[in-house]
Amino acid sequence: MKTISLERSYGGTQGVYAHRSDTCSCDMTFAVYLPPQAQERPCPVVWYLSGLTCSHANAMEKGEYRRVAALLGLIVICPDTSPRGDGVPDDPGNWQFGSGAGFYLDATCPPM
């Protein structure tokens, strides 16, 4: 796992990380906000799943969750839910499929 960025925010820490995903055949990124309370005790976790074609950055840039998460002692995880990059199959004519478009499922067989 690789740390992309680490910043202080509302007494907590906002980090962005990348890891290699064998399932997606590409690097995947995610953001984690750790509130100040996480230094002292376990905290509940909220998973923020962005919409179709969105990444972890959408939640970080457009949703100001850090202030409230710090007040309530919540860890917030914002994964990039879509595979991206040169090795990802793409359909440039259809925004619903291809690079940057993901669906929340775990397929058990290849597409027909």
Q: Where are the domains of the chain?
A: 1-112
- Average pLDDT on 85-109 reads 61
Neighbours of 32 (CB within 10 A): 19
pLDDT tens digits for range 34-92: 999 999 999 999 998 877 667 777 787 877 899 999 999 999 999 887 766 666 666 66
pLDDT at 55: 73
Query: What is the sign, positive or negative, of the torsion defined by CA atoms of 73, 102, 59, 63?
Result: negative
Fold of the domain spanning 1-112: Rossmann fold (3.40.50)
Global model pTM greater than 0.85: no
